[in-house]
Structure 1
Amino acid sequence: MTSRKATELIHHPYVPPPGFAAPQVGVYKASTVIFPSVAALRARDWRTKSGYTYGLHGTPTTFQLEERIATLEGGKHCLLVPSGLASIACVNLALLRAGDEVLLPDNVYGPSKAMAEGELTHWGITHQLYDPMDPGDLQRKLSDRTKLVWVEAPGSVTMEFPPLAHLVQLCRQRGITTALDNTWGAGLAFNGFDLGTGARSTTGSGADIVVHALTKYPSGGGDVLMGSVVTRDDRLHEQIKLSHMRLGWGVGANDVEAVLRSLPSLVARYRAQDTSARQLAGWLRGRPEVAQVLHPALPGSPGHEHWQALCGDDGLAAGLFSIVLHERYPSARVDAFCEALALFKLGYSWGGPVSLVVPYDVHAMRPAGRWPHRGMLVRLSIGLEETDALRADLEQALRTLG
Structure 2
Amino acid sequence: MSSHKDLSDLSLSTRMTLLGRDPESQVGFVNAPLYRGSTTVYRTLDDFEQKRNRFHYGTAGSPTIAHLEDAWTELTGATGTVLSPSGLGSIALALLSVVKAGDHILLPDAIYRPSRVLCNGLLTRLGIEATYYDPIRADAVESLIKPNTSVLFLESPGSQTMEVQDIPTLVSLAKRHGLVTILDNTWATPLFFDAHGHGIDISIEAGTKYLGGHSDLLLGLASANEATWPALRATYDAVGMLPGPEDCILALRGLRTLHLRLKEAERRALDLAEWCKQRPEVKKVLHPAFPDCPGHEFWKRDYKGSSGLFSILLAEDFGRDELRNMLDKMRLFSMGLSWGGYESLIIPFDCRSYRSATEWAHRGMSLRVQVGLEDLDDLKFDLGQGLDRLRTKA
Find the residue that maps to 2:254 and give its secondary structure. Answer: helix
Query: Does 2:315 match 1:326?
Result: yes
Letter in 1 for 2:209: K
Answer yes or no: is the 8 Å Cα contact 2:150–2:180 preserved in 1. Answer: yes
Query: Does 2:335 match 1:365?
Result: no
Answer yes or no: is the 8 Å Cα contact 2:224–2:232 preserved in 1. Answer: no
Deviation digits for residues 343-382 of structure 1, max 9, x if unmatched? 1111001000111111011222323752222221100011
Q: Quote the residue 1:212 is aligned against.
A: 205
Query: Does 2:256 match 1:267?
Result: no
Assess, with a 3 A threshold, how the Cα gap between structure 1 residues 31 and 375 changes in structure 2: closer, same or farther.
same
Q: CA deviation at 1:74?
A: 2.3
Name the stretch that deviates more: 383-392 or 320-329: 383-392
Answer yes or no: is the 8 Å Cα contact 2:195–2:203 preserved in 1. Answer: yes
Deviation digits for residues 103-147 of structure 1, max 9, x if unmatched? 110000101111111111111111100011001221110121111
Query: Does 2:235 match 1:243?
Result: yes
Query: Does 2:215 match 1:222?
Result: yes
Letter in 2 for 1:354: E
Find the residue that maps to 2:346 and give its secondary structure. Answer: strand
Q: CA deviation at 1:169?
A: 1.1
Query: Does 2:31 match 1:24?
Result: yes
Answer yes or no: is the 8 Å Cα contact 1:329–1:375 preserved in 2. Answer: yes
Q: Quote the residue 1:307 is aligned against.
A: 299
Query: TM-score, normalization: structure 2?
Result: 0.90
Q: CA deviation at 1:262?
A: 1.2
Answer yes or no: is the 8 Å Cα contact 2:86–2:208 preserved in 1. Answer: yes
- In the aligned structure 1, how far is the partner of 2:350 from the partner of 2:207? 27
Q: Quote the residue 1:285 is aligned against.
A: 277
Deviation digits for residues 329-352 of structure 1, max 9, x if unmatched? 112212322222211111001000
Assess, with a 3 A threshold, how the Cα gap between structure 1 residues 247 and 369 changes in structure 2: closer, same or farther.
closer
- In the aligned structure 2, how far is the partner of 1:396 from the partner of 1:278? 20
- In the aligned structure 2, how far is the partner of 1:179 from the partner of 1:378? 27
Answer yes or no: is the 8 Å Cα contact 1:90–1:243 preserved in 2. Answer: yes
- In the aligned structure 2, how far is the partner of 1:89 from the partner of 1:19? 34
- Root-mean-square deviation (CA, aligned residues, Å) is 1.5
Find the residue that maps to 2:183 and give its secondary structure. Answer: strand
Q: CA deviation at 1:300?
A: 1.0
Find the residue that maps to 2:191 and give its secondary structure. Answer: coil
Letter in 2 for 1:236: T
- How many aligned residue pairs are there? 368
Q: Quote the residue 1:35 is aligned against.
A: 42
Name the stretch that deviates more: 18-27 or 68-77: 18-27
Find the residue that maps to 1:268 and give its secondary structure. Answer: helix
Answer yes or no: is the 8 Å Cα contact 2:26–2:32 preserved in 1. Answer: no
Which of 362, 375, 378 does residue 386 from structure 1 map onto?
A: 375
- In the aligned structure 1, how far is the partner of 2:101 from the partner of 2:51? 34
- In the aligned structure 2, how far is the partner of 1:228 from the partner of 1:65? 9
Q: Quote the residue 2:90 is aligned against.
A: 87
Find the residue that maps to 1:346 and give its secondary structure. Answer: coil
Unaligned runs of 5+ in 2: 1-23
Answer yes or no: is the 8 Å Cα contact 1:74–1:187 preserved in 2. Answer: no
Query: TM-score, normalization: structure 1?
Result: 0.89
Find the residue that maps to 2:192 and give its secondary structure. Answer: coil
- In the aligned structure 2, how far is the partner of 1:335 from the partner of 1:73? 42
Please give the residue correspondences for 1:3-402 in structure 2 after superposition, counting only pairs within 5 Å: 20-44=27-51, 51-195=54-198, 206-233=199-226, 235-311=227-303, 315-367=304-356, 370-402=359-391
Name the stretch that deviates more: 332-341 or 126-135: 332-341
Name the stretch that deviates more: 244-253 or 169-178: 244-253
Deviation digits for residues 64-102 of structure 1, max 9, x if unmatched? 000111122221200011100000111122221111011
Q: CA deviation at 1:45?
A: 5.7
**Which structure has the bigger radius of gyration?**
1
- In the aligned structure 2, how far is the partner of 1:336 from the partner of 1:45? 63
Percent identity at matched positions? 36
Assess, with a 3 A threshold, how the Cα gap between structure 1 residues 372 and 271 changes in structure 2: closer, same or farther.
same
Letter in 2 for 1:372: A
Assess, with a 3 A threshold, how the Cα gap between structure 1 residues 45 and 301 changes in structure 2: closer, same or farther.
farther
Letter in 2 for 1:59: S
